[in-house]
Amino acid sequence: MTAKRTYTNFSSYPPKPSSESSNTSLFHDGQRITCFSSALDEVVTGILVKCLTNSCIVDISESEVLNDHDRKVLNNKIVVSYQDIVK
């Protein structure tokens, strides 16, 4: 007698992550945040433009810490991990 085989439906494997993480619910578009930028190696203040899964895009055009050259090079935006946001 042979053992009965069970087959797994791999069409939904691995499970897809939810579209909104717990970090995303803490922040919203247009919110002013203070964060550490590893690209600039300093703390900057900006306006959250878009929430992503593990990070967010921050508009730094009004940041007083940066000079015009740095803003132009970065196109007035940086990507910041939620872990780097100062609460």
Per-residue confidence (pLDDT) for residue 38, from 0 to 100: 86
Domain ranges, ordered by start, for the chain: 19-86
40-74: burial string, b at 16+ Cβ within 10 Å, e else? eeeebebbbbebeeebbbbbbeebeebeeebeeeb
Residue-wise pLDDT for 26-42, tens only, equals 899 999 999 998 888 89
pTM of whole model > 0.95?
no
Per-residue confidence (pLDDT) for residue 60, from 0 to 100: 93
- Specify the CATH number of the domain 19-86: 2.30.30
Residue-wise pLDDT for 48-78, tens only, equals 999 999 999 999 999 888 889 988 998 999 9
Q: Where are the alpha helices (DSSP H) in 1-87?
A: 68-73
Structure tokens at 71: 């803003």
